[in-house]
Amino acid sequence: MIVIQIDDIKLKSLNQGYRFNRKTGRMYINKDYRQFKDEITKLTNLNARDLKPPYQVSIEFESYLDIDNPIKAILDGIEDSEVIKNDKDILRLFVIKRHIPRGRPGKLKITVESIKEE
């Protein structure tokens, strides 16, 4: 089991993460979103263990954001850190959000476990 706990974090929304370049016609990841994902990756690397798929991931956070907005960046971060091989191997995902006022820093706790397939 891997537990990552971060206090005093400002979660980013996937809604704010992607931008469209009208000249090229392509989507790109905005700098703030990329930095947030990279922060998750870096902090997860400190706790990395060799877990085998399939996985169960629990995410608890405090934020004013919609419950689904930061999830993609968090999952991408733990995949980039190689704690999990591929997020397609996550069979169970639990998310708990505690609402806090906008502008206040929140907390984030991520738990990753290997599970037996049913």
Q: Helix, strand, or coil here: 92?
A: strand
> For position 81, which CATH number holds?
3.30.1330.70
Average pLDDT of the chain, as a whole number: 87
Mean pLDDT of 7-22: 76
Kindly tell me if the per-residue pLDDT of 61 is higher than 90.
yes
Mean pLDDT of 68-87: 91
Kindly tell me if the per-residue pLDDT of 66 is higher than 80.
yes
pLDDT, residue 118, reads 64
pLDDT, residue 16, reads 61
Overall domain count for the chain: 1
Helix, strand and coil percent figures for the chain, each rounded to 5: 25, 35, 35
| pTM confidence score | 0.83
